Amino acid sequence: MKSTSIKSGFDRELKNHTSFRQTVRNSLTMAYRGLLKIRRTPEQLFDVTLQPIIFTLMFTYIFGGAISGDIVSYLPVIIPGILVQTVITTSVVTGVQLREDMDKGVFDRFKSLPIARIAPLAGALLADTIRYSIATILTITMGYIMGYRPEGGLEHVALAGILVIFCAWSISWIFAFFGVIARTASSVQGISMIVLFPLTFLSNAFVPVNTMPNWLQWFVNINPISHLVTAVRDLANSGTIGWDLVISLIGSAVIVGIFAPITVRAYMRRT
Amino acid sequence: MVHVQKRIIEPNHGDWAVEARGLVKNFGDNRAVDGVNLNVRAGTIYGVLGPNGAGKTTTIGMLATLLRPDAGSARIFGHDVVKESQIVRQLIGVTGQYASVDESLSATENLIIFSRLLGLGRAEARQKADELLEEFGLTEAAKRPLKNFSGGMRRRLDLAASLIAQPPLIFLDEPTTGLDPRTRTQMWDTIRRLVKTGSTILLTTQYLDEADQLADRIAVIDHGRVVAEGTVDELKASVGTSSLQLSIQNLQDIDVARQIVERVLNIQSNVLYEAGKIIAPMANADLVTDLLIALRESGIQLSEMSVQKPTLDEVFLTITGQGVKKDAEKASFESKKAEVAKA
């Protein structure tokens, strides 16, 4: 070894805790690792690239005529709906990938390094916001190509995009929790889909609520996804900010408030 | 021995890099580690020898803060692995049985990320990565994804990653399992160089010759317990000596040859009549010269002669076999030597 000699283990001044600054630094490095991985394996991005394109095309042409009479007048309804559904679905991958990652040998090394214990978790969640951004931009672009001209203007559409990304990030804590406690990656996928499917479809994302039976309307109206979809529609289509946006933000905060601590606790116990 | 400048913090701990007392780890009903005691002096190579499933990896996992012990305690340079885990992590490097590097990234990217996590700046991290890649002969492959790396390259990268922070204690879990002989020798050289810089190394292995080549002291682990501990020579003496195998060309001579063997070497021998072979323990290699001369003087022609070293199988048969007391952990080498001699 070139390095002439190694300092003895007895002479070192060491601390038994990690500072907040180190925690942030470690998390950013782990997020950087996530980005490198995306660059190395671009096929990971299939879900956030193909799904927005295919779903937008499919749902618009299937439901457009039946629900709004024609395609173009359905676009202001469906694009915010698809946007929310796609980006939220993408957040499931966070949990699946976290599980896969934790099963790999490299996680043993992370565990043996003197880094903030939370960093691999925080980094993974942070890196995934890139995925949400890609899905958001593609869905809105796809809508634009098909003739969607949101009246709220670009800045409100951008705001709506950020809102969706933030909410997806919050919800990804739920799936991160499944990822940490589940035994296999495929079971994470399974559990997450069971949670997500009713939430996204039993909402106002695709179909006007007043066409549903009363008991279902009750659920759809309290479903947080519906509030998020409405908030996005308000922002994009009329540039207004309403209660739905506030409710969405509160809902996200509550999810993070509950799931972040229990995920971290479960994660610490596992590692 | 490396001289360690001790600051008197806790005088009891002396210069032990590792002190483990009664470590226990259960996985469900399976007691993987069942009260392991280990003492590793700073600046030495310590080998943990044992078959698959003996509890070697689990023991390392507990010492390296990857697993929490169910009972017992361990200190690394005087720091408790459970209570002061974050300090311990600053003192160790871990190289796993299966390379603990990121498969989807390149070698450089791996080293840069680990360097950054260890607090190096952007430029420093890159420099460190280049240095290590150069040192481990991986510069050419630096940009390639790890998927295309051979087993040996992966291990080297893994070891390089463990050295970023220049830890004073390095755990190597089966560093050469699955490597070809040439790569294995390279790995051995690397490990020896490492110890010259003042590192302490705790390595596990399934191979007796690896422990023989590298380790100053060895602990033999079986069923989660330390069944023997000592220097390489002590251990070897306890498992018996090499055996001398002679093939006699002319089968009629075999009984005469046997008498000569037993007289010259002063031991009991075994004869395999069908194969025309005489097998004798070889306690003193110098006597073999006398034996060969005596055989020639009697006109006995040999067709083959070989020396068989004790194999790992024999080590375990001897140490874990019938002769061992129930309280194997405390059985000293002396008593075992006596048992071997009796047998």
Residues B58-117: pLDDT tens digits?
999 999 998 899 999 999 999 999 999 899 999 999 887 766 888 888 999 999 999 999
Question: A7–B166: do the CB atoms touch at under 8 Å?
Answer: yes
Shared domain check, B171 and B73? yes
Residues of B in contact with A30 (CB under 8 A): 117
In a 3-state reduction of DSSP, which class is residue B308? Answer: strand
Shared domain check, B264 and B229? no
| Alpha-carbon span A214 to A205, nearest angstrom | 17
- CB of A267 within 8 A of CB of A118? yes
pLDDT of B276 higher than 90: no
Q: What is the pLDDT of residues B241-267, one digit of tens each?
A: 678 888 888 888 888 888 998 888 888
Residues of B in contact with A15 (CB under 8 A): 86-87
Length of chain A: 271
Residues of A in contact with B124 (CB under 8 A): none
Residues of B in contact with A22 (CB under 8 A): 119
What phi and psi, each to the nearest 5 degrees, are found at residue A41?
A: -125, 80
d(CA B326, nearest CA chain A) in Å: 35
Shared domain check, B254 and B229? no
Residue A79, number of CB atoms within 10 A of its CB: 27
Q: What is the pLDDT of residue B322?
A: 37
Q: What is the pLDDT of residues B288-322, one digit of tens each?
A: 888 889 989 988 888 888 887 765 556 666 676 53
Shared domain check, B280 and B182? no
In a 3-state reduction of DSSP, which class is residue B23? Answer: strand
Which tokens hold the place of B168?
């004073």
Shared domain check, B171 and B77? yes
Q: How far apart are the first and last CA of chain B?
A: 37
In chain B, how many domains are there?
2
Shared domain check, B85 and B174? yes
Average of per-residue pLDDT across B26-37 = 90
Interface test with B, best of A103, A106, A268 (most B CBs within 10 A): A106
Does residue B212 form part of some domain? yes
Residue ending a domain, among B201, B218, B237, is B237
Question: B42–A111: do the CB atoms touch at under 8 Å?
Answer: no
Q: Dihedral of the CA atoms B55, B56, B57, B59 (nearest 10)?
A: 80
Shared domain check, B172 and B301? no
Asked if ipTM goes beyond 0.85, one says: no
How is chain A split into domains, by residue range? 21-270
Average pLDDT value for chain B: 82
Shared domain check, B60 and B34? yes
| Alpha-carbon span B40 to B20, nearest angstrom | 9
d(CA B297, nearest CA chain A) in Å: 55
Shared domain check, B77 and B25? yes
Categorize the per-residue pLDDT at B338 as very low, low, confident or very high, splitting at 50, 70 and 90.
Answer: very low
| Alpha-carbon span B48 to B206, nearest angstrom | 9
Categorize the per-residue pLDDT at A5 as very low, low, confident or very high, splitting at 50, 70 and 90.
Answer: low
Q: What is the pLDDT of residue B202?
A: 94
Categorize the per-residue pLDDT at B328 as very low, low, confident or very high, splitting at 50, 70 and 90.
Answer: very low
Shared domain check, B171 and B87? yes
Q: What is the pLDDT of residues B133-172, one digit of tens each?
A: 998 888 888 888 888 888 888 888 988 999 898 899 999 9
Residue ending a domain, among B237, B266, B297, is B237
Closest residue of chain A to B95, computed from CA coordinates: A109
Nearest by Cα to B295 from B268, B252, B257:
B257
* Structural domain that includes position B178: 11-91+167-237
Compute the radius of gyration of chain B from its Cα atoms.
Answer: 24
**Percent of chain B having pLDDT more than 90?**
29
Q: Dihedral of the CA atoms B147, B153, B158, B163 (nearest 10)?
A: -140
Output the domain CATH number for residue B223. Answer: 3.40.50.300
Q: What is the pLDDT of residues A155-189, one digit of tens each?
A: 999 999 999 999 999 999 999 999 999 888 888 88
Shared domain check, B303 and B181? no
Q: Report the alpha-carbon angle A255-A257-A261, nearest 5.
A: 110
d(CA B259, nearest CA chain A) in Å: 55
Shared domain check, B199 and B70? yes
Interface test with B, best of A6, A121, A183 (most B CBs within 10 A): A6
